[in-house]
A and B are shown apart, each in its own frame.
Chain A
Amino acid sequence: MTFRTPSRIFLSGLALLMILSVLSIGIGVSDLGIWGTFSDPDARQILWEVRVPRTLAALLAGAGLAVSGQAMQILVRNRFIEPMSAGAGQSAALGVLLVTLLVPSAAIWVKMVGASLAALTGSLVLMAILRPMPPTQPLLPALVALVYGGVISAVVSFIAFQGDLAQFLGSWLTGEFSGVLRGRYELLWIAGGASVLMYLIADRLTLLSLGEDAARALGVNVGLITATAVAGLSVVTAMIVVSVGSIPFVGLVVPNLTARLTGDNLRRALPLTALCGALMVLGADILSRLIRFPYEIPVATTVAVIGAVLFLVLINRDPRSRGAAGVNPAASADRKGGSHV
């Protein structure tokens, strides 16, 4: 709740982020050279038209994915759910697809609005489905969310094949940054703005994580905060899907990592979450460009591999983290010892 000086972890992360950003700007098929960018107009053009936008896109997408993952986990009271794989991402793709089919000449902002509204609907439906499920059994909602995302994804595939838009699947369902150019990533600034919005309600989101009753008892307008958070994370998800495609795992792994590092007081945790998300996606994008240089792997693939490994390390490293991830020992003790005479 208090403002503190940034922790050592945060500062080291920031330093690493700068190094990666410089690397990211430096890596590409054409060798820019440090000095070339000052004298050579072609090099300068590549820098501003391609490399900087691509780097910014990775940073914005990564931060947004991680922050919206953390918000979603509070809303559904479950640490294993993140918007990109739990319906919001697939719904956003469905929204874009429907707009493309119905109004082929639609401007990008129409697609953007369609994707946002679809993501919002997808998230709200998921929340309604998960609401009656008890928080003490975290795996069931997580599975339901995965299946839910899978079903929407199947609908997207079906419609895409029917509408002869199969190439759509490749570009929108697999996130990659190779298409990012100046003028084609700016929607991600909206995702950045929505992430900042979630930081502004960080305290109230933390109170919400104590339970709706506890939050209401402290004077939080639970409906308003829930609505703001779900709108925010839907917009973030939609902007990412529309501009670079779906990127899984970041929203799942990063909030669990920051919970380990600083805990869940979002005023403190969200900046670190955003930073780690940006680091993860930017790092993955650099790897994607280097592994088969000069060819690229989609960043979604690299992120999925890194994310899966990180997640396994995270839940196996410390036995208590399994408790934090849901199977709370104190909570189960509560149920056992209901009565005492």
Chain B
Amino acid sequence: MIRISGLSHSIAGTPILRDIDLTIPRGGITALIGPNGAGKSTLLSLIARLQKIQTGTITVGDLTIGTASDQDLARTLAVMAQSSHVQARLRLSELVSFGRYPWNRGRPGPQDHARVEQALERFGLIPLRDRFLDEISGGQRQRAFAAMAYVQDTPYLLLDEPLNNLDIAAARDLMSLVRDMADTDGRTVVIVLHDINYATAFADHLVVMKDGAIAAQGRPDQTVSEALLEQVFGTRARVEILQDRPVVLV
């Protein structure tokens, strides 16, 4: 469980997050949605202790952000950042194996190699394993970074817009892998999604943000509505119920 209470954040005097109280349940997929600039990435980076908390507290499981050690956190929480401008020429298998760093501190043992092999297999990266990162497509890159977060073997996984630049097949593939991590491995996934239809299709829990605050949250079918789209995104789109779930007609 991730508990956030009284969290406020501002950058250069501009408030980015305003007094957020939020509990993200253990297990399943929680999708964060909201317009650009709502503060989703900022919230995620504060949970991942990538920025210093200014006001408020965050606990992940029984670790408190700000006091827990880097190593404990790295074994509890994996992050896949929104965009990775990695200029290093690393082979894909090397990149994935760095996800094991919190466990082996750079001295991989047989079980680390086994985990990496399994991740490459699960994410369909075996044929690409010896390619350099600048020799693969955007979708393959995203999958590689997801695999890297996966081998970190953490109970919590934070993904910031992992579907960026992916075509529909790659996006659905990646989402089913994420779904599988939640269902089979019992991981708690917090994922920022741009496309509300993906959120309603794959998430168990929805958190809607606007202007640095939580605008709504709950089960996807009870949260997404034409009224919400108008209120949060300022757009009038029709929402139809298809197979028991809301679908936004764009």
Do A and B bind? yes
- Which residues of A are interface residues toward B (Cβ below 8 A)? 1-2, 74, 77, 79, 135-136, 203-204, 206-207, 209-211, 213-214, 216-221, 259, 263-265, 267, 320, 323-324, 326, 328-331, 333-335, 337-341
Among candidates A219, A331, A337, residue contacting B74 with C-beta atoms closer than 8 Å: A219
Across the interface, do B138 and A333 meet the contact criterion of CB distance under 8 Å?
Answer: yes
Among candidates A2, A203, A328, A337, residue contacting B165 with C-beta atoms closer than 8 Å: A337
Across the interface, do B134 and A219 meet the contact criterion of CB distance under 8 Å?
Answer: no
Across the interface, do A263 and B45 meet the contact criterion of CB distance under 8 Å?
Answer: no
Across the interface, do A323 and B250 meet the contact criterion of CB distance under 8 Å?
Answer: no
Chain A residues lying within 8 Å of B48, measured Cβ to Cβ, are: 213, 217
Across the interface, do A264 and B88 meet the contact criterion of CB distance under 8 Å?
Answer: yes
Known contacts A217-B50, A218-B152, A219-B101, A265 near B91 by CB under 8 Å: yes
Across the interface, do A204 and B106 meet the contact criterion of CB distance under 8 Å?
Answer: yes
Known contacts A217-B74, A264-B88, A1 near B194 by CB under 8 Å: no
Across the interface, do A219 and B90 meet the contact criterion of CB distance under 8 Å?
Answer: no
Q: Which of B194-210 contact A (CB under 8 A)?
A: 194-195
Across the interface, do A263 and B94 meet the contact criterion of CB distance under 8 Å?
Answer: yes
Q: Which of B81-110 contact A (CB under 8 A)?
A: 81, 83-91, 94-95, 97-102, 105-106, 108
Known contacts A1-B94, A217-B74, A218-B152, A210 near B88 by CB under 8 Å: yes
Chain A residues lying within 8 Å of B101, measured Cβ to Cβ, are: 203, 207, 218-220
Closest beta carbon of chain A to B159's beta carbon, Å: 12
Compute the total of residue contacts between A and B using a CB distance below 8 Å: 127
Known contacts A2-B108, A203-B106, A216-B50, A209 near B79 by CB under 8 Å: no
Chain B residues lying within 8 Å of A220, measured Cβ to Cβ, are: 70, 101
Closest beta carbon of chain A to B163's beta carbon, Å: 7
Would you mind naming 19 contact pairs between A and B with Cβ atoms under 8 Å apart?
Answer: A1-B106, A2-B113, A135-B85, A136-B85, A209-B86, A213-B48, A213-B50, A214-B81, A216-B50, A216-B70, A218-B101, A263-B89, A263-B91, A263-B94, A323-B134, A330-B141, A333-B138, A333-B165, A340-B164
Contact with A along B18-49 (1 / 0, CB 8 A): 00000000000000000010000000010011
Chain B residues lying within 8 Å of A326, measured Cβ to Cβ, are: 87
Known contacts A211-B81, A259-B89, A340-B194, A219 near B73 by CB under 8 Å: yes
Across the interface, do A211 and B85 meet the contact criterion of CB distance under 8 Å?
Answer: yes
Chain B residues lying within 8 Å of A216, measured Cβ to Cβ, are: 49-50, 70
Chain A residues lying within 8 Å of B123, measured Cβ to Cβ, are: none
Closest beta carbon of chain B to A202's beta carbon, Å: 8
Chain B residues lying within 8 Å of A330, measured Cβ to Cβ, are: 133-134, 138, 141
Across the interface, do A320 and B135 meet the contact criterion of CB distance under 8 Å?
Answer: yes
Closest beta carbon of chain A to B95's beta carbon, Å: 8
Chain A residues lying within 8 Å of B106, measured Cβ to Cβ, are: 1, 203-204, 267
Across the interface, do B86 and A210 meet the contact criterion of CB distance under 8 Å?
Answer: yes
Chain B residues lying within 8 Å of A74, measured Cβ to Cβ, are: 88
Chain B minimum-CB-distance residue to A134: B85
Chain A residues lying within 8 Å of B73, measured Cβ to Cβ, are: 219
Known contacts A219-B73, A263-B132, A209 near B87 by CB under 8 Å: yes
B78 interfacial contact with A, CB 8 Å = yes
Chain B minimum-CB-distance residue to A200: B106
Chain B residues lying within 8 Å of A203, measured Cβ to Cβ, are: 98, 101, 105-106
Across the interface, do A339 and B99 meet the contact criterion of CB distance under 8 Å?
Answer: no
B55 interfacial contact with A, CB 8 Å = no
Q: Which of B155-179 contact A (CB under 8 A)?
A: 163-166
Chain B minimum-CB-distance residue to A325: B87
Chain B minimum-CB-distance residue to A332: B85
B10 interfacial contact with A, CB 8 Å = no
